[in-house]
Amino acid sequence: SRAVPAADLLPDALDALHATFGFTAFRGVQEHVVSRVLSGQSTLAVMPTGAGKSLTYQLPAVMLEGTCVVVSPLIALMHDQLRSATANGIRAATLTSADTDREVTIDRFREGELDLLYVAPERASQPHFRELLSKARVSLFAIDEAHCVSEWGHDFRPDYRLLRPLLDAFPEVPRLALTATADHHTRADILAQLGIAENGLIVAGFDRPNIRYAIRPRENAARQLKALLEENSGPGIIYAPTRARVEQLAETLAATGRRVLPYHAGLSPEVRARNQAAFVASEDMVMVATVAFGMGIDKPDVRFVAHAGIPKSIEGYYQETGRAGRDGDPSIAVMFWGADDFARARIRLSEVEERRQQSERQRLDALAGLVETAQCRRAVLLRHFGEEPAPTCDNCDNCLEPPGVADVTELARKLLSAVYRTGQSYGLGHLEKVLAGIADDRVLQRGHDQLSVFGIMTEDEKPLLKPLSRALQARGSLLPTEHGGLALGGDAREILKGEASVPIVLPPKQERKRRGGGSS
């Protein structure tokens, strides 16, 4: 239900918008959020990156009497915000352990000379901060990156939980929680944790229609990325899972003659700053980076974002690919994934705290669903964020070149029973030999030529074994063992008993081969 805006405030808000930021209009849900805040209603705004979240508290901060207290999780982020607020003539300051002028800031705050005061959650939750607030006038609490308050969120920070007593100590001060990424669970949790009414939820559209999504199996990452670079001349970001992989890919790709630089947390701050500045200024450079790169970078003309391995979650995928095409021009997001990515992620899963395992597993399953789907990628993505999108978009790989889907339940049962009968410790290479009936030394030594599964795979099934194994690993029916073997997991037993089916998406190349083969 849309709140009735305080009617006399909106013209003032437009004036202030123009006077402070030089903008002539609100974008999307900004107006709705600002009008709620101005009329004192607590709100959770879920707005994708680039949608203009900061304005929704900075504008009220300028308009309302008193100071808007902004809770933000990272000092670097705070300083970015501080810079841009100050550049717009907003009276702002940060209160962190890194600041040497804390006394000055505290005085300004008490004297009512600040529109914005940025603090970290660990400071905000301290009793003497509460005391300080009671001696000043607070207009608004803005809680940035609010998903940090939820264990369902992808970036839980316990300090965020300690904010509630502070907020409750000032019941007349409205709360504005902001986040770019929150699925249904996380949204409900943020509302509950921060004491915001359910009808205070405002969700902006997540669609980025100018981004073309594609998700492909990884065959040879370097070769696939080189091809991508040949087809795309504009600036691009390639995300790789580890520092070593970043270095390696950057070196390989630089050999193509394209300007390519690495970025990861292992580089010195000077090198990182230099590489980032070069990227922001460039019109054709490629940055190979870990996820450490991208937060707070203002480069609207990034033409492609590639993932050389799977991201952490759909939220991460959306955030990282969202760095492409902020200028609205056609851009590309392509992911090259491998079964080993999911294998590693599922091993890590067993190492996280038990109470978080369920949500982490759901996150991984959702990502596997996106990777393995034959449906429109955009539709899957937007449904994940609670929207009801059109079933097709004409701007993703699956819409542009619908993949073939094969029901390979029979082959899946053969593979899973070969895994079981060989003792759940061999890799796909060995299993393939057993299923194909190839009696090499190792097969003979272990007596695997004597098993009922020896040689039961048909000629037609052979090319499907690898995509099948990939799909089973993505959905968790096959799990990696410590020594590089495969073991049963997830719904493997249901598949074996014929209670679950296994459709797989055929990669376009395989699909062409199959169609070609079928028609001859």
Q: Which is nearer to Zn ion, 211 or 238 (CB)?
A: 211
Please tell me whether residue 428 adopts helix, strand or coil conformation. Answer: helix
Residue 477 interacts, among Zn ion, ligand ADP, none and using kind-specific CB cut-offs from 5 to 8 Å, with none
Residue 378 interacts, among ligand ADP, Zn ion, none and using kind-specific CB cut-offs from 5 to 8 Å, with Zn ion
Going through 88-188 in order, the beta strands assigned E by DSSP cover 92-95, 116-119, 138-143, 175-179
Query: From CA 319, how far away is CA 311, in angstroms rounded?
Result: 10
Residue 396 interacts, among Zn ion, ligand ADP, none and using kind-specific CB cut-offs from 5 to 8 Å, with Zn ion
Q: Which is nearer to Zn ion, 44 or 367 (CB)?
A: 367
Contact with ligand ADP (CB under 6 A) among 9, 13, 20, 26? 26
72 binds ligand ADP per the rule CB under 6 A: no
Q: Which is nearer to ligand ADP, 203 or 222 (CB)?
A: 203
Residue 52 interacts, among Zn ion, ligand ADP, none and using kind-specific CB cut-offs from 5 to 8 Å, with ligand ADP
Stretch near ligand ADP under the rule CB under 6 A, chosen from 44-52, 97-105, 155-163, 225-233: 44-52
23 binds ligand ADP per the rule CB under 6 A: yes
3-state secondary structure 159-228: HHHCCHHHHHHCCCCCEEEEECCCCHHHHHHHHHHHCCCHHHEEECCCCCCCEEEEEEECCCHHHHHHHH
Stretch near ligand ADP under the rule CB under 6 A, chosen from 46-54, 259-267, 421-429, 489-497: 46-54
Going through 340-428 in order, the beta strands assigned E by DSSP cover 404-407
Neighbours of 289 (CB within 10 A): 26
Q: Please give the single-letter amino acid code of residue 224.
A: Q
Please report which helix (H) or strand (E) contains residue 260, including its range: strand 260-263
Contact with ligand ADP (CB under 6 A) among 20, 41, 42, 49? 49
Q: Minimal distance in Å, beta carbon 393 to Zn ion?
A: 3
Q: Minimal distance in Å, beta carbon 151 to ligand ADP?
A: 24
Stretch near ligand ADP under the rule CB under 6 A, chosen from 8-16, 45-53, 392-400, 450-458: 45-53
Q: Which residues contact 416 (CB under 8 A, 6 or more apart)?
A: 472, 477, 478, 488, 492, 495, 496
The answer to whether 158 and 129 have CB atoms below 8 angstroms apart is: no
54 binds ligand ADP per the rule CB under 6 A: yes
Q: What 8-state DSSP symbol labels residue 26?
A: -
Contact residues toward Zn ion (CB under 5 A) are: 376, 378, 393, 396, 399
Stretch near ligand ADP under the rule CB under 6 A, chosen from 24-32, 181-189, 353-361, 408-416: 24-32
Query: From CA 303, how far away is CA 233, in angstroms rounded?
Result: 8
Residues near ligand ADP (CB under 6 A) are 23, 26-27, 30, 47, 49-55
